[in-house]
Structure 1
Amino acid sequence: MQDNASIYRVYTVQAWFALYGITQITNWPAYFPDLNLIKHIWWHLKTRTYEMFPEVAVDKSETEHARQRLESCIQAAWDTLDKGLFNNLYASMPARMKAYIAAGGWHKNIKIIQ
């Protein structure tokens, strides 16, 4: 799932979605992190990576070695994420949708689970 940001509505992206049979929710908000569970997972992954490997946060080099190091650090951090996080985020979706509807479809920072 992606949000409905304009970058996903360009022709090449739409053609790719069609080619691979990816169904889109067309009335999804353009930016709504409360409903995009992947954004929450990315936040946890980034936080864990920087906690475990603080040097990665300051390394701005763009060498292949730096890319490989970052990839291995992210993989190591991913392996430590509590799998209950995914279940909890998924289980929170009905409450997130209700809050979105109650807010009249407007952005509402839902603090159900971080």
Structure 2
Amino acid sequence: MIWGCITYHGVGTITVVEGNINALKYIEIIDNNLWPVVVRHFPDDNYVFQDDNAPVHRALSVQDFRRETGLKSMNWPAQSPDLNIIENCWWVLKRELQKRTQNINNTKDLEREIRDIWEITVTYLKSLYNSIPRRILRVMRNKGKHTKY
């Protein structure tokens, strides 16, 4: 599995995670990969972390970790990929990986290609963030049903 994060200012960490993710592993991922991004991009502490509603993200130990560390996040509607702009980045990653299969012979090659592709431009990320109001409006107009996003 792959975990990654993005900001308006640029891509954050992307990491390949061995095996399945449970609550303890998710806490470790956040602790080791999210906090450095928050410190680098948000020295004024002006951020909101968004993840989806995967059960592991809602585990009590994860919620406790969020409270104890002051991780600022928001409630997010279930089944809302139209509003989750990182989904566009995952799509770019998958599309580009398919073009590079000849370069991938082992796990190390795969990780190298993933990290290379993850250098998504700030311009693209800003366009995704700037699309959020339109996305919300579209979802509202469609009464919560699927949109073009």
Q: TM-score, normalised by structure 2?
A: 0.57
1:13 and 2:53 correspond: no
Aligned-CA RMSD value: 2.1
Question: Partners of 2:114 and 2:97 in 1: how far apart?
Answer: 6
Instruction: Give the length in aligned residue pairs.
Output: 100
**How many angstroms does 1:55 deviate by?**
5.8
* Stretch of structure 1 that moved more, 14-23 or 31-40: 14-23
What is the letter of the counterpart of residue 14 of structure 1?
A: Q
C-alpha contact (below 8 Å) 1:17/1:23 kept by paired residues:
yes
How is 1:1-114 mapped onto 2 (pairs within 5 angstroms)? 1-26=50-75, 28-54=76-102, 56=104, 66-79=106-119, 81-104=120-143, 106-111=144-149
Q: How many angstroms apart in 1 are the aligned matches of 2:130 and 2:96? A: 22
Q: Identify unmatched segments of 5+ residues in structure 1.
A: 60-65
Cα 1:82/1:7, change in 2 over 3 Å: same
Q: Which has the higher strand share?
A: 2
Specify every segment of 5 or more residues in structure 2 that has no aligned partner in the other structure, as ranges. Answer: 1-49
**Corresponding position of 1:62:** none
CA shift for structure 1 position 54: 4.5
State how far apart, in whole Å, the 2-side matches of 1:54 and 1:38 are.
26
**1:32–1:107 contact (8 Å) kept in structure 2:** no
Contact kept in structure 1, 2:93 and 2:117, CA below 8 Å: yes
Q: Could you say which structure has the larger radius of gyration?
A: 1
User: Hey, what's the Cα distance between the residues in 2 that align with 1:68 and 1:19?
Assistant: 35
Identity of aligned residues (%): 28
